[in-house]
Amino acid sequence: MDNKLTENSILEQENKLYSAIKDGNITSLDQLLHDDLLFILPSGETITKEIDLDTYRDGALKVDELLPEIENLNIIDDMAVITLTMKLNGKFNDVPFEANYRYIRFWKKFGDGIKVVGGSGIAI
């Protein structure tokens, strides 16, 4: 098995992540996010994988539309850094929202797959 990351393998993982977010698929999110994930929300709050998964478990976040546009993708050894903009709309705590965000996400290859280890998002 080839140990190198490719642009296609990262884009495939990104697409899996988009689907998991839109579907609220906790099993897929659990597989895609590293156990030690740290992510900075647009509010400035730092969350962990468990906090993120709880948002979906509790039904607090429901995404109806998710439209990503990849800006940059850099592969550095067994890690990839991707930047993108995304239009999102849905409900958070039953309050409708529609917003545009810019994200940076860090993917790393492990023995059991490629996982998100960190990232950040800001409203634009």
pLDDT digit string, tens, across residues 25-67: 999 999 999 999 999 999 999 999 999 999 999 999 999 999 9
Residues 6+ apart with CB under 8 A from 1: none
8 Å CB contact between 52 and 25: no
Q: What percent of the chain has pLDDT over 70?
A: 98
User: Which two tokens mark 36?
Assistant: 């030690």
Q: Which residue has the higher pLDDT, 122 or 1?
A: 122
Amino acid at 68: P
End-to-end alpha-carbon separation of the chain, Å? 40
Nearest to 105 by CA among 50, 44, 33, 4: 33
Q: Collapsing DSSP states into helix, strand and coil, what is residue 112?
A: coil
Q: Which backbone phi and psi does 121 adopt, to 5 degrees? A: -140, 145
Q: Considering the domain 7-123 in this protein, what is its CATH number?
A: 3.10.450.50
